[in-house]
Structure 1
């Protein structure tokens, strides 16, 4: 099993970025979320410096400075609605940590809805089949939380079986049709829970994953970046029981974020610890570099 992924992530928390006087940028700090837009062909990139909308013409910071936060656990729910966690921007009136925040205007404005000043969810997972069900891992106090009503109310779970601290968990996913069944990637192996995250057992001790992403609500298909006895980006039709390579592997880097296009099942975008972004339009046949070490290509 490879070691030091978490150390690599923490070591990269200082990187330079540049921008001009407008909201247009050509670089960024720290990928904290990466998803295709559900309303057009652009891509949303959550970063330390704010939310960036990426298209072929330009990359633009979204919203006014007071809403350009250090987003963590960023996820798109529908065409207009986004949810996240993290830390307030330098021009914001909010205090740290933000708890759970929501936007109903595609990231232009944000407001706290739960656990304000209490948690920082670096992992915030929304079940693909029932988007009212969410899981979050708070790095401040290293706890696992669950929401059953779209992020407005949360229960802290008395979770056992995962390696400590829980904040070291690298990836988390729930089954689209059975949201109580979860997988968690750690540096000590791949873990599973069948009771909504209360108890965990080791599923694979020679295989784990730094990123997990389900492709739709009606299947067991998922994409993961594996390390251990298999290494690289892989596809599973049975929620991680078997794997097929997608012909992508990094040296001295790991994929942390994966998103699939909402209408084109051949398109996948991925983001790495070292701030690089890659896209395939033929489901892993070929790959294009969109950003390299925080710089637009």
Structure 2
């Protein structure tokens, strides 16, 4: 068992609420996605209570109440398009689970496009170079899926080799230039697949990753939060064959989400299991705390 997984991913936390007369928020419940905007300097935070935009003016809950869902597997596809899974909000007419939903207006409105009422993808991954290729792990039935047309159609794969249940997989990524080659972080080690997720083998027995993030479409650069014989945030230039420490490690917590800025290669933002958010503007040289245990830093 890899050290550091004592805390359950399903742990629940206490939240405070947004103000009564605006969409400004000071706190949130659960980080379910964390991404830099593709067209400005803001940050999008997917939570149990909806999508939050972090910008110079404050933290704003996006959309009307009927579109404020419990987003899971949230990611940004391009400047305007976002894709996610999860559960409908209390004011929504959608049915649980949401399957795959998409937004073409920066998260203001959402509509289902696939597997509606069928799956809840807690992990939803887009290949860095070819964003038509996507992978998802459904926690409802613990199945592994692949899409070759941007999430509109999916094939459930008869996956073998990953530890059961598949819903316990913590992180997933694909090689930017070879999207059939995958890495997955689990409680028992780091696994790899060379056939698009059909079969898996154990790559590292004493090392795993709670978060994995490729940095661009034309390199093998990879950021990971490692657990085991290496602990903390690490950088790889060869898609996980070798690692260099970024000298960032948490106690009694670990990173679950990593996002790199689309134009500034020095900027990274990371989110933890215990709902803390950190940002660096010098590739790990120093860090600013944006949120601590679900509470916005003043």
Question: What TM-score, normalized to structure 1?
Answer: 0.98
The residue that corresponds to 2:262 in the other structure is 262
Query: What do the CA deviations read for 1:178-231 (whole angstroms, capped 9, x no partner)?
Result: 000000000100000000000000000000000000000000001000000000
Q: What is the rounded CA distance, in whole Å, between the counterparts of 1:271 and 1:189 in structure 2?
A: 21
- The alpha carbon displacement at 1:7 in A equals 4.5
Aligned 8 A contact 2:97 2:118 in 1: yes
Counting only pairs closer than 5 Å after superposition, residues 1-297 of structure 1 correspond to structure 2 as 1-3=1-3, 5=5, 7-11=7-11, 13-21=12-20, 22-297=22-297
Structure 1 segments of 4+ aligned residues over 4 angstroms from their partners: none
| Contiguous gaps of at least 5 residues in structure 2 | none
Distance (whole Å) between structure 2 residues aligned to residue 224 and residue 5 of structure 1: 16
Output the CA distance in 1 between the equivalents of 2:112 and 2:26.
29
Distance 1:10 1:82 in 2: 25
Q: Check conservation: 2:128, 2:176, Cα contact below 8 A.
A: yes
The answer for unaligned runs of 5 or more in structure 1 is: none
In angstroms, what is the RMSD of aligned CA positions? 0.9
Task: For residue 4 of structure 1, report the CA deviation from its aligned partner.
Answer: 6.2
Q: Cα offset for 1:2?
A: 3.2
**Retained in 2: the 8 A contact 1:6–1:170?**
no
Report the alpha carbon displacement of residue 56 of structure 1 after superposing the two structures with TM. Answer: 2.5
How far did residue 54 of structure 1 move? 0.2
For each residue in 1:32-56, what CA deviation from the matched residue of structure 2 results, as whole angstroms up to 9, or x when unmatched? 0000001110000000000000013
* 1:117–1:3 distance in 2 versus 1, CA, 3 Å: farther
Tell me if structure 1 keeps the 8 A contact 2:88–2:94.
yes
SS in 1 for 2:10: helix
Q: Encode CA deviations 1:135-181: one digit per residue, 9 max, x unaligned.
A: 00000000000000000000000000000000000000000000000
Give the distance between the partners of 1:10 and 1:29, measured in 2 at CA.
12
CA contact (8 A) 1:6 1:168 kept: no
SS of residue in 2 equivalent to 1:24:
coil
Distance in 1 of aligned mates of 2:191 and 2:249: 23
For residues 233-266 of structure 1, give each alpha carbon's deviation from its aligned partner in whole angstroms, at most 9, with x where no partner exists.
Answer: 0000000000001110000001000000001000
CA distance in 1 between counterparts of 2:212 and 2:283 reads 16
